[in-house]
A and B are shown apart, each in its own frame.
Chain A
Amino acid sequence: MQERVQISDEQINRELLSGVLHTPLWFWGLVLLLGAVAGVGVIAAGFLVYFGVGVLGLNRPVFWGFLITNFVFWVGISHAGVMISAILRLTQAEWRRPVTRAAEVLTIFALSTAALFPLIHTGRPWRALYWVFPYDFSRGIWPNVRSPLIWDPSAIFTYLTGTILFVFIALVPDLGMVRDRTTGWRHKLYSVLSLGWEGNPRQWRLQAVAGILLSALILPVFVSVHSIVSWDFGMAVAVETWHATVFAPYFVIGAVHSGVSAVVTMMALLLWIFKLKNYIRPDHFDALGRLLVVVATAWLYFYVLDFFFGMYALEPQEIANRTLIMFQWPMSFMFVLFALASYFIPIPLWLSRKNRRNITLMFWSSILVNIGMWMERFQIIVPGLMRKEPFTFTWGGYAPTVVELAMVTGSFALVGLGLLIFSKFFPLIPAWEQKEGQLLQDEVQVGRAKVPGLVHE
């Protein structure tokens, strides 16, 4: 971390609040575009609800397809945010400052979108509610707590609630700042949201303690959520290729891999769209790239572990599943794409410091990772079901329909739209944290060199 830019508080306010206080024309264009794509997804969901699950490409024995794959994918994306934010806060990493909020907000929208998919997938979402919430007193029907499908909502609810509150608490000082710069109804709104924040020593002290305490509390939740999502599969005895103890750490690390890559994508977009070159610098991409090399390699290790233990016993279903994935078209093509996209193209690229500091390259390679990781989730879920049964005549196939494709595409637009609307109301980079960073930084003379130094309590 050698690059430092000296910025005044006034400039920080002006630059970081410009998205909140002014609405450029492109904003509305982008909202319309994303809204239209998300709208198509909503129409597709309506189509599914009206006509039933027959409009999906599901059939015996493949009852989980694109929608559940997409659910796992978005839960994975949601993991980066809080992971990055919480770990960087706990370790007081200086480069966290511009990254944390955007990453946390990505968590909120990714997780909310993820939570929609299992419900939509049932075809009758309203009938699924009593599976989750114990409200059916009249019939005495309660959630079956023995099912991982019930653990999922409890974990997601905890994680989503925790993340929203985590974001809100860190947002309060900035809400006070926006309140001071707005008039009319917006001033009233931000006055309420900022809870009368004034920035006295007590409030700042509690803000600092809250960051650390909430980080420490949310990290175990973060680990539990994707573990529990993995148990949707790992606890299923009927699908042998899923029934593996390695699934929980494998899913968690995979989630971190795809999630941190998504943060890289988002940081690049933030930099380009909002022109935040004073805050998001090549240093940040360098640091995230180094983190990703470690995370991706750990993820590959778990992938190989899963493969190795699966093949060691030479169980027929396991062999059939791996043969399908690796040697039969089109799964084999997808397998090659997945391997290249999620590891073998980006990681060698990221080993070079020059590449890690090339923001355009980081942007496209991080997108590549997520294309690969989406396919990874698909290859875990669908081939396992296609080769679930012991007899070849009971094997099945799966091809997604337009309805599924529309909903999956719509989910990407929905998350983008959520982030965009959030950026209209709240600064995506925490201004007070930037100011704190400016306050604590100084230049230290070491020999003939001047190096940036930081003071910490």
Chain B
Amino acid sequence: MAKRTALGLYKDAHAAAAAVENLKQGRFTDQDIDILSGTPYPEGAFGEHHIGHKLFVFPFIGAACGFSVGLLLTAGTQLSYPMVTGGKPILSVPPMAIIMYEGTMLGAILFTILGILFESRLPRVRKSVYDARITEGYVGIRVACDAQRFDAALNALKQAGADDVKFDTQPGAATA
């Protein structure tokens, strides 16, 4: 069944929270509702559920990869040109540790960035109903639902005192 999307814009955060409440009472689920704002509101300000993520795993994977690359690079370059100097071992551990440390940190940072993008679901290619006023202080409550429940969604948004309501012009289409 074709999906339709509506976006209610609220100047007042209380009204936006009321809109989310109306939608939930109308049996719209958390998956149907998206809350858009230009400011990070405290978690739960609009009655949304806690957002879980696994971001903390990413730096560890990155660190392990970076460490391995650092080890391969430092050990590999020394072993492939095995020149003994002063009777000392071919592999000089203290300098290796420095480069491996940098590799570890670089890997951790790179994977953290990947993790942030992945967990934030970015980049977001598919366009949906949006309004530039959101970055001007308005809170947008967007609801995506089956076409037959679309009127109920619009009513819920308007009842909460939306300053404006936008929606896609036809099922499946998006307006920016």
Q: Which residues of A come within 8 Å of B, CB atoms? A: 8-10, 13, 134, 140-143, 145-147, 150-151, 154-155, 157-158, 161-162, 165-166, 169, 172-173, 176-177, 180-181, 195-210, 213-214, 217-218, 220-221, 224, 228, 432, 435-436, 438-440, 455, 457
Q: How far is the CB of A143 from chain B (nearest CB, A)?
A: 6
* Stretch of B106-114, B143-151, B163-171 at the chain-chain interface: B106-114
Given contacts A134-B73, A214-B112, A217-B105, contact A195 B99 (CB under 8 A): no
Neighbour of A162 across the interface among B76, B109, B128, B137, CB < 8 A = B109
Q: Chain B residue with minimal CB distance to A169?
A: B116
- Chain A nearest CB from B67 CB (Å) reads 13
**B residues at A contact (CB < 8 Å):** 34-43, 46, 48, 51, 53, 55-56, 59, 73-74, 76-78, 80-81, 92, 95-96, 98-99, 101-103, 105-106, 108-110, 112-113, 116-117, 119-125, 127-128, 130, 132, 134-137
* A158→B102 contact, CB < 8 A: yes
**Contacts A146-B95, A195-B123 known; A210 to B102 CB distance under 8 Å?**
no
CA of A158 to CA of B101 in the docked complex: distance in angstroms?
Answer: 10
> Is B48 a contact partner of A206 (Cβ separation < 8 A)?
no
Are A205 and B51 neighbours in the complex by a CB distance under 8 Å?
A: yes
Q: Say yes or no: A180 contacts B124, CB within 8 Å.
A: no
Contact status B77-A177, CB under 8 Å: no
- Write the chain A residue with the least CB distance to B131: A180
From the candidates B76, B78, B81, B119, name the one contacting A206 in the complex (CB within 8 A).
B119
Residues of A within 8 A of B53 (CB): 202, 205-206, 209
Q: Determine the distance from Cα of A165 to Cα of B112 in the docked complex, in whole angstroms.
A: 10
Tell me how far the C-beta of A219 lies from the nearest C-beta in chain B, rounded to whole angstroms: 10
- The one of B41, B112, B125, B137 in contact with A10, judged by C-beta atoms closer than 8 angstroms, is B137
Determine whether the beta carbon of B105 is less than 8 Å from that of A221. Answer: yes
Our pick among B51, B76, B108, B123 for the contact of A196 (Cβ within 8 Å) is: B123
Q: Are A146 and B81 in contact (CB under 8 A)?
A: no
Best-surrounded residue of B41, B43, B53, B113 (most CB of chain A within 10 A): B113
* Contact A432 B38, beta carbon cutoff 8 Å: yes
Q: Given the interface contacts A145-B92, A206-B119, A213-B59, does A157 sit within 8 Å of B39 by beta carbon?
A: no
Known: A205-B51, A213-B112. A199 touches B121 (CB 8 A): no
Min distance, Cβ A72 to any Cβ of chain B, angstroms: 18
Known: A142-B81, A151-B95, A214-B112. A199 touches B36 (CB 8 A): yes
Provided the pairs A9-B136, A158-B105 are in contact, do residues A206 and B55 lie with their beta carbons within 8 angstroms?
Answer: yes
Q: Is the CB of B102 within 8 A of A155?
A: yes
A and B contact pairs by CB, cutoff 8 A, 13 listed: A145-B73, A154-B102, A180-B134, A180-B135, A195-B117, A200-B35, A202-B119, A204-B41, A210-B55, A213-B112, A217-B108, A221-B105, A457-B43
A150, B99: Cα distance in complex, Å: 9
Taken together as a complex, chains A and B put the C-alpha atoms of A217 and B63 apart, in Å, by 10
